[in-house]
Amino acid sequence: MTIQLNPYISFRDNAGQAMEFYHSIFGGDLNSSTFGEFGASDDPAERDKIMHSMLTSPNGLVLMASDTPTGMDYTPGSSISVSLSGDDEPELRGYWDKLSDGGSVTVPLEKAPWGDIFGMCVDKFGISWLVNIAGAQA
């Protein structure tokens, strides 16, 4: 039996743009559906909002997102971060460069006290990312 934990990001009304941005970084297959496609909203202003979007990268990363209908509470700048980690330094540095472009770096991607390369950034959509590149094992 397989269990998977996937980040699911909520946006107010730009999930489509954000997921296209992440698709340009991670590649893979992006599938998005609007509230209008499912008849889930009678409000014309809500019909084009993303009800569900899922990005599956070639290396197995899965990221999901949706817009938040106007009638629902939305708190930007959530208290959760998305973390990428592994030992493929060129690939992870590439993700870092693209995620931080247009956003802000809160901790530069550099050697950390625990021996790995680590950095934190907030992308241009306000999502916090942590990148940890495993150091050489002793």
CATH code, 111 = 3.10.180.10
At 78, the pLDDT band (50, 70, 90 cuts) reads: low
- What integer pLDDT is reported at residue 133 of this predicted model? 95
The pLDDT tens digits of the residues spanning 107-138 come to 999 999 889 999 999 999 999 999 999 986 54
**What domain range is 90 assigned to?**
81-133
Whole-prediction pTM = 0.84
Burial profile 46-77: b = 16 or more Cβ within 10 angstroms, e = fewer: bbebbbbbbbbbeeebebbbbbbbeeeeeeee
Could you identify the residue written with the tokens 């950390």? 112
- Same domain membership, residue 123 and residue 100: yes
Classify residue 21: in a domain, yes or no: yes
Report the domain count for the chain.
2
Share of the chain above pLDDT 70, in %: 93
Asked if residues 80 and 98 have their Cβ atoms less than 8 Å apart, the reply is no
Identify which of 37, 36, 30 has the alpha carbon closest to the alpha carbon of residue 16: 30
With respect to residue 33, please indicate whether it lies within any of the assigned structural domains: yes
Using the 3D structure, point to which of 67, 93, 110 is the last residue of a domain: 67
